[in-house]
Chains A and B, each alone.
Chain A
Amino acid sequence: MTILLADDDPVTLESLAACLQPEGFRTLLARDGVEALELWRKHRPDLLCLDIMMPGIDGYEVCRRVRAENASVPVLFISAKSEEIDVVVGLRLGADDFVRKPFGKHELIARIGAALRRTRSAKSSPTGFQLGPLRVLPEELRAQRDENSVDLTPREVSILKLLHERAGQVLSRDVLLDVCWGLEYMPESRTLDQHIAKLRKKIERESEEIIETVRGVGYRWRGQG
């Protein structure tokens, strides 16, 4: 999942990337509209987060040009401008959402997930896999349990996917880190545990254990159901 981030404030840009990368998003960073358009044409990311006020070409213009080439890629505006007219202009240009500053990581990821879901569910019927009581929908970055929907990050989806593919097998920490984080990424050991803990909090109910901890080895999904 690749996201193009465009903001003229380098701190914001770096902070956004730092928030999204650990959650499994690949990020492309642009400091102005021209760079954003270049990166868009070169990498065709899955989603664009654009600031409005940027030197050269502003976010509105980037959105207009991207929309001219691709009508379905989700575009989010992230801006300190929050007047109704700014929002209306942004949405009329075909943006999927308008995220007003200030916002936190969780709000941003939730908005990204919602924008992706809307675009993807409009394109095709959801495909996914069953993990116990959960129906995991990787394309939409969410899992469905009864009537409730749980937002997931790409990293969480890849963990659940691996557990599903290797149902019944105990997955060691190294395997999980190699597959879900990539060989080139060297996360701390407790990063995995924190992710699993967060994931459990999201998908498991009280006294329920979908992801089983195998002490000293790793994690396992038994595969029942």
Chain B
Amino acid sequence: MAIVSRGFSGRRSATDVKLPPGQYLTTDFPVLSAGPTPHISLDRWEFTIDDGSNVLKRWDWKSFRELPTETITVDIHCVTRWSKLGTSWEGVSLDVLLADLKTDLPYAMFRSYGDYTTNLPMKDVINKQAWVAFKFDGTDLAPEHGGPARLLVPHLYFWKSAKWVKGLTLMSQDKPGFWESLGYHIYGDPWLEQRYSGDQ
């Protein structure tokens, strides 16, 4: 039974902004990492879409940067409880990357340089819900924040926004990625507080 520490309240602060349950507002940008920061040179970088057997689409950095981009401002929510509001990113929408790709495979495993993976339903990455982002706050995305490019899926907990993303593998069934296989929720909606497997 924990004793209460007199006068301790932690980093939480009352705010009149509505945050998902259990979150606190931060003004800095914490760096969370499960491994060493990969350093990928742009002449080696590529983004591929495959279905487990065949590569369906591939971009190198040059062809990727020729795609139309968007600048978006979104709130992000990390499962470690910090939320950062009004973050500005520039990236290529998954709608653009998936355009004229005919598939009925309903799930995707996003893959990163290093060994990180995260799974998402395809319905959550289309229709302006996901981007491959390469700029944060107007400047090139720093390596510790996922640069050269990271996935950005702001409507779900930020562990789904895989840093150093290098592609996705289409799947017929949902399979858990790096954190989803170790107790984190398979979907991760912060507004339903779906942090851990077994939540709602």
Physical interaction between A and B: no
Task: Please report A residues at the B interface, Cβ cutoff 8 Å.
Answer: none
